[in-house]
Amino acid sequence: MTVPAFGLGTFRLKDDVVRRVVADALELGYRAIDTAQGYDNEGEIGEVLSQSGVPREQVYLTTKIKPAHYRRQTLLDSLRESLEKLRVEQVDLTLIHWPVPKGEVRPEEYLAALAEARELGLTRNLGVSNFNIAGLKQAREVLGGVPIATNQVEIHPYLQNRTLVDFAHREGIHLTSYMTLAVGKVMNDEVLGDIARAHGATPAQVALAWALRQGHSVIPSSTKRENLASNLKAQTLELTDEEMARIGGLEQGETARIANPESARPDWD
């Protein structure tokens, strides 16, 4: 199953907030939900999904294995626990959340364990998150013929990750952009605002349309129902080549990186 182009991110959403947001998103037509063991909200999401009335087969559900669970048996056990919390027999996609290059568990072990989880039917697809080019090459070697459904990475107008993007496009590796709105920074950007006014859109819609135009999937989040609805409209916003180039000029490089935990990050490309 291809990773949906548009989904709901649930990072930092907990308790009643995540319950309300997921319920609103499903009512508005979202059919892909992204969570992680480290978000501590799988149980609430599972509760809402089970009560929503939306058939399970219509929702593309993604979770991520957190680094503390990278040992083979722990990974398998933790994914089974995630399934219980989410109230499903299988997730559509499971990702390795961070490569943790200096950790005790090597990629050969946790990637092989993730492939085993796929063979056991715990997840339909597998992928990675926050992997650099070297990590992607190693993952392909370890996984052999098992396809990498996506590499989920931070991509927004100020951190465009061009070296990684170019490699992924050449190699046919799909990318999912997270923090596409740069934690709200795009809302006050003059260039994005100007482009938005030309289309009768919002800067958030422009940033999302920019990522979608490149072939990335996006998983924006909001605690406001009106923003959830507004974000969906980015799927029909068509930017010109000139507008794409203007957004390209917003690149700030590594100084704009938001998610960068020292213990888990790779050497960024």
Supply the residues annotated as catalytic.
39
Give the contacts of 140 (CB within 8 A, at least 6 positions apart): 148
**Cβ 126 vs Cβ 149: under 8 Å:** yes
* DSSP 8-class letter at 145: T
CB 219 within 8 A of CB 231: no
Of the candidates 92, 103, 77, which has an alpha carbon nearest to the alpha carbon of residue 150? 92
Other CB atoms closer than 10 Å to residue 193's CB: what's the count? 15
- The per-residue DSSP string of 168-183 comes to HHHHT--EEEESTTGG
As a whole number of angstroms, the distance between CA 219 and CA 31 comes to 11
The CA distance from 263 to 109, in Å, is: 18
The reply to whether 69 sits in an annotated binding site is no
Q: What are phi and psi of 249, to 5 degrees?
A: -75, -5
- Give buried/exposed letters for 162-182 (b at 16+ CB in 10 A, else e): eebbebbeeeebbbbbbbbbb
Which residues belong to the annotated binding site for substrate? 97
